[in-house]
Amino acid sequence: SGAADPMAERIAKEARRIVDVSGADGLIGYRRDPVTVVHGGWQVTIPGTFSERETDGEWWAGEGGRSLTLAATATGTAAGPMSPEEFLAKVAGDLGRGALEHRDGPVVGRARLAVDESSEVGLAVLDAYSAVRGSGAAMKVEIHDPADWEWALDMWRSLKPA
């Protein structure tokens, strides 16, 4: 129709003013700094620029070639809360001998980083599990740039009970 949108014009004008006055990089929005997210009794700190969504039992966040999915659950048997080692043996026992191990206070973790050979974009996937007595979490981190493998491991290692 060619009609001008007064609100769009105002937003553009204000954005230019903010950049001119503050010398900012032009980013506008409510999240620039890292954000700590809690899901299922576990917390992780993600870049503030990540988009998020939550479904039944699962939380996802990501942007531009990096994403992570988190699911968490209470763990226990008729005898009481499950130890971290029991939970990891049950859910991460098939990760193989080359599995990565992690321990930070009461948090015990096990993970495997693998390249998805079928992916045309060089996708690497970190399948990771962490547990404390009575609670366990599964995290999947996907990266499209092999240089991000350290970031993927840092995301997993930063996971802790809320």
Confidence of residue 55 (pLDDT cuts 50, 70, 90): confident
Residue 91, pLDDT score = 94
Residue 1, pLDDT score = 47
Three-state secondary-structure class, residue 67: strand
152, pLDDT greater than 50: yes
40, pLDDT greater than 90: yes
Three-state secondary-structure class, residue 51: strand
